[in-house]
Structure 1
Amino acid sequence: MLEELEIHDLGPIHRALLTPAGGMTAITGETGAGKSMLLSAIRLISGGPASSGRVSPGASEAWAQGVFAVDDRGGVAQEARDAGAVLEDGELYLSRTVPVSGRSRAVLNGKSAPRSVLESLASQLVTIHGQADQLRIAAASRQREFLDMVAGDDDLLARYRHSWDALRDLDDRLERLRHQESSARQRADYLRESIQRINRADPQPGEDEELKGRRARIENAADIAQGVSRALAALDASQVDVDADSSSASDLLNQAISSLRDIRVDGDFGELADRLESLNADLSDIVFSLSRELDGEESVEDLDAINARIHELGELTRRWGPTLQDVIAWRDKATFEVEDLDASPEKVAQLQDEREAAFDRALQDAGALSEARRAAAQSLAATVTDELSSLAMAGARLDIRVTDRGEEAVLVSDSAGEASTWPLDANGRDDIEFLFTPFPGSPQLPMGKSASGGELSRLMLALELAAADRRSSAAPAGEGGPMTFIFDEVDAGVGGKAAVELGRRLARLARTSQVIVVTHLAQVASWADAQFVVTKGASDGGQSAVTTTVAEVCGDARAHEIARMLSGSESEASLDHARELLASSSLT
């Protein structure tokens, strides 16, 4: 949800701060006042094209920033973190600077970011329905995405794409097998020989380092034995000379402990005795470990075998290392590669059988996806058509055509005997087309080519209303945040009762989403939870300089603005009408 929009030196707007309501916000003002600059600012922070011609005269740069409230656990927040942003209190800052000369700069939560990052994030937060923006829905891919969103077929789509990926993987493997050349066969021979050599040696992870340690001990056996013997002689002479009659360090510690235990006067003597006992236990462990060192020394005769094994393992690491773990990993990977490079008829036939089974699975999963899309298309088209009649478009209708390319599909092969994925692609086996009939008797035409800007805005409003109803009924409570919808030109060619119905439907959409509408109709603006007025006037620089101000109107000031929109004047009659309109514009 958009919490704040701030603009500096963009077109005629030198300073503006817009804090839209969580529900519906109306942007009003006289024609030419600069309402379009607000949309330009939102397009800028959404990663849209930047033009230095939009910088205010006399300014060095234009700047716009949008502050959005996002779910800390949602996908938008995670994508922002992946881009390096640090979110605080669930707020996302998208800003853009456009200099008079040079490149624009995009910033995400105070850190520079590629424009594409802003575009990706904003696409999940804001949907602009202006004449230029909504033409995107004319693209077949956008229509498919919208229908899938309404259908709620995420699980079916994910299952199909898993089947599709498996099918394409088998296609790639078959392609390699069929077209491998002599170099590939040589590669397979080399891999087999290498695998056999590694298997003969049977290396174990870390084995070479362990052998080098054993070798070092054998080579320094005399020094080790001498040092260990001296240490044992000092700690417990009986470990190296059974006839030794001197007391061990452990015996001396026991005497000290006993002496301290015999003291019957208050003091720390008991605690000191405990510490000596702990020290004595450690000393006993050390003596035991040193005595084992004398008993466990390897014989010098093992040195030749150890050196030979180290040399053998070294040959492996030099060729396929640098470590034995790398050698083992290379062998395991090479084993799979050899299987793919082995172009035996049996292998090809096996992969062909797997490929046919994968094709059947993908076709079946695509069929389930098609059924869900057809059901959603029928429901969505009927709902939108009903909405259009209340938006001053009686007789207009929307039809959604879902053409299943695979209803009679079979696995086919081309002249070279290679399998084809027809009729499937990465999104299923459907061709989806939104067809709009603007008036009775008009032919069905592709959406985007058959409506004016105002008609298309109202059509998009009807689509968003239908989608919002689906989202509110399907989404778990409290999941994510509301989408921000911005409508421009939605009221073109509308008046009277139809304008009231238009406002009512925008307010209905605002129950589940944030709605910002640029409008010149009082009947639409009166439904808003907040209203901002864009006003044009002369600046201090003279009559030739024009500035635009943006200010929220509330209470009596709002009634005056509604009256101006109704009749162009603010007479008592107009004000009474405005107050009456505001009072009646409520969904409750």
Structure 2
Amino acid sequence: MIEHLSINSLGVIEETVVELDPGLTVVTGETGAGKTMVVTALNLLLGARADAGAIRAGDGKASVEAGFILPPDHKSATAAVDAGAVLDEDADYRHLVVTRSITASGTGTRSRATAGGRGVPVALLGEIGEHAVAIHGQSDQLRLKSPTAQRLALDAYGGKTLSAALKNYRKTYDTLQSVSSELQELLNQAQERALEAENLQRSLEEIDDANIEDQEDTELQDQIKRLESAEEFRSAAHISTTALSGDDNDLDAPSAESLVELARQAIDQTPGELEELEGIRNRLATVGIELSDITAEISQFASSLTEDGPYALNQAQSRLAELNRLKKLYGPDLADVLTWAQEQRPRLDVLHGDTDRIEYLTEEEQHLTATLNEQGAELTALRQEYGVKLGAQVTEELHGLLMPTAQLSVAVDPLDAPGPHGFDSIALLLQPHPGSEPRPLGKGASGGELSRIMLALEVVLADTDPVPTFIFDEIDAGVGGEAAVQIGRRLARLATRVQVIVVTHLPQVAAYANKHLRVNKDPNVEAGFTTSDVSELVGEERISELARMLAGHASSSSAREHARELLEASHA
């Protein structure tokens, strides 16, 4: 609910702060006093477009402020907190203060908004207001004009039973949409996916057939270098072994091994044992052994040089060329080629599984369609059932509002195709009198009739509507007499469940208020402007205002007596 409203320099109102009742608050005043500025202020706080023309003459800025009391989990409170607003909290409620200021400038109108002390976009005020307040003005007699709003109203009226059926339907509908979308995609892309599978299969097979080993390309490069220099290696080995161990074809040719052995024997044959020669003898023996080992290693190396070198070289070069081709296609390194193959195998499995997947999705689509048809039929039956009840309740209210022959009905008609909210198009229809054709709301009814229809709907739907505050701006236009009394009664009944704020010119309505506010006009002829403020009326002040509304002036004794009767009747 709205706890208080502060207005500064808006229209003819210079400055005022009003406390609003949690039940029914009425706002009255003479024509031109500025009653509608209260609604204008609330509209600004709910994100309406700012107009510099609404700023009070002589001032450059107007501002409005409202304090909301909301349940802890209310959507408006959550939206404000998400935007950074700071809310005061107690055991049961959260308190949110919202402000809006408009400033006239040479380039147009500037607007600033805050929520919970934090500057916020004006659009956030609209989001807060959407869930906190419903405003009905003379130009917007019915908030339930659109088919969407009417469907939501009927579904809310159906309570948990209809809500559960709709939830099950939506779950099936969303799943069916997903399945159908995937199936259609597979069918539309069958040829492309088959070609992709064929190419991917060929690529993976050539990688598998290559039987790649880690670092194989590096080893092949070393092998090719070795094979390309095989003759040079063989010649060097022959020269080296001949120099070290001699030539088998020339036994007299000297060799390093024989010369070292000759030197060792010469030292070994010297007479006596000299310590200096003993060390030389041992070193020569070691050199001889080392030369023998080197010769053996060179011979082994020479033996490893295969005679089919050209063939082996050709094989190695061909293998390296194949590996380089794979690297060019699938990755800069062999490791990348293997990684690519590993990553693509699941994709190939998916593509190969298309046929099975299509069969599965086709069966699933058929099953879900059958389930959706059952759930849609159930939803339609429930809407028809609750539509009859809603129509009967609203009709009863209309009869109480002096529309004794009016009938409201709910048409539940099939859509061309199932939608996310069911198979149904919902329409609220009014039959003004027997024999007339039921017509959509808002067509063929007078302003006074529209006011009563809207009020009847609001009274019936109040228990299911999440909006905690209703504001009515002279919705009783074109109504009088007993019909006005009945409107006042129903507004009072509505106010037992939600907060109701009414701008009215009818004393029959004002008499039912828990709080009566009057907009007071103070024209300054010399200065050329009018100033208004808002005050609460109690006791005789309220009697005087009701008398003014009844007879045009507050001093009429008969009007004051009638005003007392209205108050007594409303209290009764």
Partner in structure 1 of residue 103 of structure 2: 99
Residue in structure 1 matching 2:139, options 114, 123, 132: 132
Residue-by-residue CA offset, 1:247-274 (whole Å, 9 max, x unaligned): xxxxxxxxxxxxxxxxxxxxxxxxxxxx
Q: 2:31 maps to what in 1?
A: 31
Say whether the 8 Å CA contact 2:12–2:530 is kept in structure 1.
Answer: yes
2:187 to 178, 186, 200: 178
Counterpart residue number, 1:450:
444
Native 8 Å contact 1:401 1:435 kept in 2: yes
Alpha-carbon contact 1:180-1:341 (below 8 Å) kept = no
**Cα offsets for 1:487-516 (capped at 9, x unmatched):** 223322322222222111111111111111
Q: SS at the partner of 1:349? A: helix
Following the alignment from structure 2 to structure 1, what is the Cα–Cα distance between the partners of residues 81 and 68? 15
Q: 2:372 aligns with which of 320, 345, 362?
A: 362
Structure 1 residues 368, 564: closer, same or farther in 2, change over 3 A? Answer: same
User: Matches of 2:467 and 2:389 in 1, distance apart?
Assistant: 23
2:413 pairs with 1:429: no
Deviations 1:355-374 (A, max 9, x none): 11111222222222222211
Whole-angstrom distance in 1 between the partners of 2:398 and 2:511: 21
- What residue number does 2:306 align with? none
Q: TM-score, normalised by structure 2?
A: 0.69
Question: Shift of the alpha carbon at 1:14?
Answer: 2.1
* Residue 155 of structure 1, aligned match among 160, 164, 189: 164
The verdict on how the C-alpha distance between 1:559 and 1:192 changes in structure 2, with shifts beyond 3 A counting, is farther
Change (3 A) 1:12 1:184: farther
Whole-Å separation in 1 of the counterparts to 2:20 and 2:481: 26
Q: What corresponds to 2:568 in structure 1?
A: 583
SS in 2 for 1:583: helix
**Partner AA of 1:435 in structure 2:** L
CA distance change for structure 1 residues 443 and 503 in 2, over 3 Å: closer, same or farther?
same
Unaligned runs of 5+ in 2: 206-332
For 1:135 and 1:367, the matched residues in 2 are separated by 30
Secondary structure at the counterpart of residue 167 of structure 2: helix
Q: Helix, strand or coil for the counterpart of 1:430?
A: strand
- 1:26 counterpart letter in structure 2: V
Match of 2:275 in 1: none
- Aligned-pair Cα RMSD in Å: 3.3
Q: Secondary structure at the match of 2:528?
A: strand
Structure-2 separation of matches of 1:551 and 1:193 = 88
| Preserved contact between residue 484 and residue 508 of structure 2 (Cα < 8 Å) | yes
**Secondary structure in structure 1 of the residue aligned to 2:183:** helix
In structure 1, C-alpha distance between the alignment counterparts of 2:68 and 2:194, rounded to whole Å: 58
Counterpart residue type for residue 521 of structure 2? K
Q: CA deviation at 1:166?
A: 0.3
Deviation at 1:529, TM superposition (A): 0.2
Q: Is the 8 A contact 2:142 2:442 kept in 1?
A: yes
Inter-partner Cα distance in structure 2 for 1:155 and 1:378: 19
Q: CA deviation at 1:183?
A: 6.0
- 1:390-431 CA deviation, whole Å, 9 max, x = no partner? 2232322211101134xxxxxxxxxxxxxxxx6211111001
Alpha-carbon shift at residue 318 of structure 1 (Å): 9.5
- C-alpha separation in 2, matches of 1:191 and 1:149: 54
Once the two structures are TM-superposed, the CA of residue 192 in structure 1 deviates from its matched residue by: 8.4
Distance 1:508 1:79, change over 3 A: same
- 1:347 Cα shift? 2.5
Deviation at 1:454, TM superposition (A): 3.0
Quick check: 117-126 or 342-351, which moved more? 342-351
- Any conservation in 1 of the 2:136–2:143 contact (CA below 8 Å)? no
Q: What are the residue-to-residue correspondences of 1:179-258 with 2, within 5 Å?
A: 179-180=188-189, 184=193
Contact map agreement 1:173 1:340 (CA 8 A) in 2: no
Q: Tell me the percent identity.
A: 38
**Which residue is equivalent to 1:267?**
none
2:559 is aligned with 1:565:
no
1:547: which partner in 2? 531
SS in 2 for 1:85: coil
- What is the Cα deviation at residue 60 of structure 1? 2.0
Matched residue type, 1:21: D
Q: How does 1:68-107 map to 2 (within 5 A)?
A: 68-89=68-89, 90-100=94-104, 101-107=108-114
* C-alpha spacing 1:168/1:542, structure 2 compared with 1 (3 Å): farther
Q: CA deviation at 1:576?
A: 2.8
3-state SS of the aligned residue for 1:137? coil
Q: Distance in 2 between matches of 1:580 and 1:482?
A: 33
Q: Secondary structure at the match of 1:133?
A: coil
> 2: CA distance between counterparts of 1:187 and 1:382?
63
Moved more, 7-16 or 132-141: 132-141
Query: What does 1:2-401 correspond to in 2, within 5 Å?
Result: 2-89=2-89, 90-100=94-104, 101-152=108-159, 153-180=162-189, 184=193, 335=346, 344-401=354-411
Q: Is the 8 A contact 2:512 2:567 kept in 1?
A: yes
**Matches of 1:496 and 1:505, distance apart in 2:** 15
Q: Provide, for residues 183-233 of structure 1, a one-character-per-residue CA deviation record: whole Å limited to 9, x for no partner.
A: 65576679889999xxxxxxxxxxxxxxxxxxxxxxxxxxxxxxxxxxxxx
Q: Name the residue aligned to 2:237.
A: none
Secondary structure of the structure 2 residue equivalent to 1:404: strand
Code of the aligned partner of 1:164: Y
Separation in 2 of the partners of 1:423 and 1:487? 38
CA distance in 1, matches of 2:135, 2:155: 20
How far off is 1:339 after superposition?
Answer: 6.9
Instruction: Please list every run of 5 or more consecutive structure 1 residues that lacks an aligned counterpart in the other structure.
Output: 197-311, 321-326, 406-421, 472-480
C-alpha distance 550-176 of structure 1, shift in aligned 2 (>3 A): same
The two structures have a TM-score, normalised by structure 1, of: 0.68
Cα drift, residue 16 of structure 1 = 2.4
TM superposition shift of 1:527: 0.6
Q: Is the 8 A contact 1:5 1:65 kept in 2?
A: yes
| Structure 2 counterpart of 1:388, one-letter code | L
- Secondary structure of the residue that 2:497 maps to in structure 1? coil
Q: CA deviation at 1:82?
A: 2.1
Distance 1:317 1:106 in 2: 60
When residues 99 and 399 of structure 1 are mapped into structure 2, their CA distance, relative to the original with a 3 A threshold, is same
